[in-house]
Amino acid sequence: MSEVDELWNWIGPPLLALRQRRHREPTTAWHEHFAEFLRELNIAEADQHPVTRSLRDRLDAIPDAGDRDRLVESDEFERIAYRIIEDAVGGGYDEAAWHAFAATNLPHWNGAAESWREFAEWFVYWAAAAGLAVPATAFMEHAGPMSNDDRIALFAQYGVTVRPAAPQVALDAATEAAMAELLAADARFAGIPEARRRELAAEVLREHAAR
């Protein structure tokens, strides 16, 4: 799935709802409908994301409220939104780099609902550091409301197989010491959820035991 498709999957349904609300309730203040649109995207302010910021600026530039409403209710509105998304993706985001980042870092989620929020925050943080904040944020906001099964299916589109979360394993002193060294040496490892770190350690233990 391309970055443009990910962003469209995120923004498309709330955009359609905005069009429908505007058609049903033309006397409601425009800013109220747009605020509801942002809430459905889990965004407090339009400036938090380049796509919503550009969309707001495009609509605010129309001086006549009637002209703006006619645009919002038209199919052209969706075409404008799609072009805005394409412009955002074209603004320095490398699709190959995004897919490589996703393939490398998505496997760090252990499949547990309890660890999702911690993982999502870690993922977006390091994506931003790699210049991939837009696709990573859109991906997580799209995946956030999903069930775990749907998230696992979404991850599979990136070639990532998520295994069910394993029970927490007890580690011996030597393995605990090795984990501490890794945490000190690499900040990214420190951001991996604790449950996932223990799973990785358990895999190492099993590999050593099998030799």
Task: State pLDDT tens for residues 141-185.
Answer: 888 888 888 898 888 888 888 876 555 555 566 666 666 666 666
Phi, psi of 196 (to 5 degrees): -70, -40
**CA–CA separation, 101 vs 80, rounded Å?**
29
**CA–CA separation, 206 vs 63, rounded Å?**
67
Q: Does 166 fall in a domain?
A: no
Count of domains observed in the chain: 3
Residue type, 195: A
Whether residues 14 and 84 fall in one domain: yes
pTM value?
0.45
Tell me the residue range of the domain where 180 lies: 173-210
* The domain boundary residue, chosen from 89, 121, 145: 89
Whether residues 15 and 53 fall in one domain: yes
Question: Considering only CA atoms, which of 50, 14, 20 is closest in space to residue 35?
Answer: 14
**Which pLDDT belongs to residue 184?**
67
**CA–CA separation, 178 vs 181, rounded Å?**
5
Ramachandran category for residue 81: left, alpha or beta (phi over 0 → left; psi -120 to 50 → alpha): alpha
Query: What tens digit of pLDDT does each residue of 80-96 get?
Result: 888 888 777 665 567 77
Q: Does 161 fall in a domain?
A: no
Whether residues 61 and 137 fall in one domain: no
Over 80: is that where the pLDDT of 70 sits?
A: yes
Whether residues 78 and 110 fall in one domain: no
